[in-house]
């Protein structure tokens, strides 16, 4: 699936719609340069999953976990791997428990930096900066 968005709001809305397809247990690996829209997408996901808290980039903690108001999905785990040197840091905080939790959706920004700890069957979401405010979002 591929979508070209023309604003931050459009990326947010795309993610909000995408969130409706989630059933729980998914690990979403977000890949793309700084400013490509990974956090904007995560905010849209959170909105689509009916997260009440405000999503901020987890810059000073490895992961933030949000409560979700949804039939099957109870938690959204948001990881920003930008400053993580190794996936071991995530293993140390028990990331596998989140990966294996059918009631949790896990989102990893800068996921390519911790590829060694990806579980099987991740959903890869690539963000490419095009001219101006255009971004190409590719889900595979």
Residues that bind ligand ADP (CB under 6 A): 5-8, 10-11, 32, 34-40, 109, 127, 133-135
Minimum distance of ligand ADP from residue 55's CB (angstroms): 10
Within 10 angstroms of residue 117's Cβ, the number of other Cβ atoms is 18
From ligand ADP, Mg ion, none, interface partner of 106 (C-beta below 5 to 8 A by class): none
Which are the contacts of 72, defined by CB distance < 8 A and separation ≥ 6? Answer: 23, 24, 102, 103
CA atoms of 44 and 75, how far apart (whole Å): 15
User: Is 25 or 38 the residue whose CB approaches ligand ADP more closely?
Assistant: 38
User: Is 25 or 37 the residue whose CB approaches ligand ADP more closely?
Assistant: 37
CA atoms of 24 and 3, how far apart (whole Å): 23
Nearest residue by C-beta to ligand ADP?
37
CA atoms of 66 and 63, how far apart (whole Å): 10
Which tokens in the block code for residue 38? 């990974």
Binding mask 21-60 for Mg ion (x = CB under 5 A): -----------------xx-----------------x---
Minimum distance of ligand ADP from residue 52's CB (angstroms): 20
* Three-state secondary structure call for residue 129: strand
Query: What separation, in Å, do the N-terminal and C-terminal C-alpha atoms of the chain show?
Result: 7
Contact region with Mg ion (CB under 5 A), list: 17-25, 105-113, 119-127, 128-136: 105-113
User: Is 59 or 85 the residue whose CB approaches Mg ion more closely?
Assistant: 59
């Amino acid at each position: 699936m591929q979508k070209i968005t023309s604003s931050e709001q459009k990326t947010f809305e795309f993610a909000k719609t995408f969130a409706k397809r989630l059933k729980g247990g998914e690990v979403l690996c977000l890949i793309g340069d700084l400013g490509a829209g990974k956090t904007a997408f995560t905010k849209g996901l959170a909105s689509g999953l009916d997260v009440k808290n405000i999503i901020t980039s987890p810059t000073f903690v490895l992961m933030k976990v949000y409560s979700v108001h949804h039939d099957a999905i109870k938690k959204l785990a948001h990881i920003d791997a930008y400053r993580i040197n190794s996936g071991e840091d995530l293993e140390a905080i028990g990331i596998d428990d989140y990966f294996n939790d059918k009631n949790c959706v896990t989102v990893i920004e800068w996921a390519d930096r911790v590829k060694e700890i990806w579980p099987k069957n991740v959903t890869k979401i690539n963000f490419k900066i095009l001219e101006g405010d255009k971004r190409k979002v590719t889900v595979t």
